[in-house]
Chains A and B, each alone.
Chain A
C-alpha cells in the first residue's frame, strides 16, 4: 500500500475512490461485499459505506465517500475492504484533512487531482491484494482438479484446440475427467455441475437427469437429452422411486453414444424415493456398465444433505473432482 503526503482534502468534501475487481473463479457471477471507510489513527471509524456487487469477470467503478464536515484536521486512513465467501481483500491509504480556513479554490482543484491519483493508487493496490488473496484462497480451498481446471483455462487460451477431438480432450482435461468412469462433484447449489455440463456438452452429446426441470437450464436440445426427476407424470420424466427406469435410461444412452456425458443431479430426491443403498447400488452398476466405454457420468452431491457415513461410502466408491 502506498501513501502520499500531498493528498489533502477539506471537511465536507468527497473523497473519490476508484476500484477494479477481478473474478478469478473464471466462470459464473460472484457476489462480493465492498466496505468503504475512513478511520483515524486510533481506529475510530468516522465515515463508512457498504454495498454488494456482482462481479462477472471484472468490475471497475468509482465511489465518492463524504468526509464529515466537522472532521478535525489531521491524517486519516481510507479503507476499502472486499469480502467474498471466506476471503477478504483490504486496501488502504493515508490522506490529510486540512482546516477549512486554509482552503483556496486553486488548491482545491489541484488537490482533487492528487486525490484522484491517490484513489488510483488505492485501486491498483486493491486489485493486487484482492487477486493475490483470492487466488491463494482458490488454490487452498478448491480440490486439486478444480484448481488445475482453472489454471488450465489460462493454458488453453494459449493453445486453442484445432479439431473436435482436441476440444473433447481439452474439456475432459479441464475438469480432470476420464472416459469410462463415474465422478462425484461436490456442489452446494448445483451451479458448478450445471456450468460444467454445459461446457462439456459443447463438444459431447449429453444426458441430464435433474431434480430441476432440465428444460429451464438452457441446454441445446440437439446435443442434450433431458429427463426430469419428478413425481409428475409428464413427458421425459422419471419418478424417483423408479430407479430401474433411471438406470435403464442411462444404460440406453451410454450404449448408444460412443462418447457421452451424463449428469445426474438430485440424488437426495432419489434417496427420498428409494433409499441410500439403492442409490449406491445403482451408481455401482453404472460404474461397471460404463467402465469399458468412453462415456463419463457426473454425479452432483451436496455433502451437507448426506450423512457423513453415506458421503464417505460414495467417495470410497467413486472419484471426486
Chain B
C-alpha cells in the first residue's frame, strides 16, 4: 500500500521521516520556548505551497504581520507562492507585486482579528471560529494547516472535557482531509509532550523539539517520537537554522550528555 506523503522541504528531516509526513495525519509539534516550533510549522506549509498544495497558518497568538515579518527575515521568498491573509495590511506588506494566482496559496489566518470583528459584547468561541474558518477554506481546497498554538486555544476557550473536545477537533480536521500540525509549547523541565498529557495519544505523530545546554552554548534538538504509517528514525538530531544559507540543517547528534 502506497502512503501519500508531504515533504517538509528539509532534506534530512524527510529522510528521518521515511520520505515525509503521511497525508491527513494530525501531528503535534511540541517543545519548550525558543525551539523553532512555529518556524518548522511554517516551513512545512511553505514547502507544501511550493509543491502546489494550499496551506494555511492559523494563528491564535502572533499577529499575521508579526509572523510574516519573522518569516521574511528568515529568508522565505513570498514571490514563489501566492500569499493570502485576513490581515490586509500584512498582505499588502508582503505580497509580491503581480503575483500569479496560479501558484498555490499560503494563507495566514489571524483568529484574533476575527474575534475583534465580533466585538467585545458577543460570546465568542475560539474553537468554533477556527472550525468555521477551516470549513470555509476547505471548500476552496486546503491541504495542510498549522494551528499555533494548542496552549493559546486552551487558554482562550473553556474545554468541558478536554480529551473529548480534542478528540472531536482532531476528527474534524481529518474529516476535512487536512494534514494538520498542532503547535504545543511545554514548560522547561516538563517531561510531558503536551499540556494535558494525553494529546500524544490522540494524534498520529509527535515531533519533539528541545534545547540542550552544552558547556559553551545551547543547541536545538529534534526527534520523532511517533509517526504512524512511517518507518521513521528515532535518533536525536541537532536542528539548526543556517543564517547564511537561510535553511534548516539537521545532523545526527554526536555529543554525549
Contacts and interface: CB of A to CB of B under 8 A. Distances in A.
B216 interface: yes
A272 B216 CA distance: 8
A282 B238 CA distance: 14
Contact of A278 (B216, B252, B255): B255
Given A244-B238, A281-B256, A274 B251 contact: no
A239 B215 CA distance: 11
Interface string A276-299: 011001100100000000000000
A248 B256 CA distance: 16
Interface SS of A by simple majority = helix
A272 B215 contact: yes
B131 interface: no
Contacts of A241: 214-217, 219, 255
Contacts of A272: 215-216
B246 interface: no
Contacts of A274: 214-215, 255-256
A244 B255 contact: yes
A243 B254 contact: yes
Interface in B204-239: 214-217, 219, 238
B256 A239 contact: no
Interface residues of B, number: 12
Which residue, of B219, B238, B256, has the highest number of chain A Cβ atoms within 10 A? Answer: B256
Contacts of B217: 239, 241-242
B216 A231 contact: yes
Interface size bracket, A side: 10 to 19
B253 interface: yes
Contacts of B238: 244
Contacts of B251: 244, 247-248
B214 A285 contact: no
A273 B254 CA distance: 13
A275 interface: yes
Contacts of A240: 215-216
**Listed residue (A231, A240, A242) with the most chain B CB atoms within 10 angstroms of its CB:** A242
Contacts of A275: 215, 255-256
Contact of B256 (A242, A244, A273, A278): A278
B253 A273 contact: no
Nearest to A279: B256
B216 A239 contact: yes
A118 B251 CA distance: 72
Nearest to B215: A273
Given A244-B251, A278-B254, 12 more contacts: A240-B216, A241-B255, A242-B217, A244-B252, A244-B255, A247-B251, A273-B215, A273-B216, A274-B215, A277-B256, A278-B256, A281-B256
Counting from the closest, the 8 A-B pairs by CB-CB distance are A277-B256, A241-B216, A241-B214, A278-B255, A244-B251, A241-B217, A244-B238, A273-B216
5 contacts: A241-B214, A244-B252, A273-B215, A275-B255, A281-B254
Interface of A: 231, 239-244, 247-248, 272-275, 277-278, 281-282, 285
Interface of B: 214-217, 219, 238, 251-256
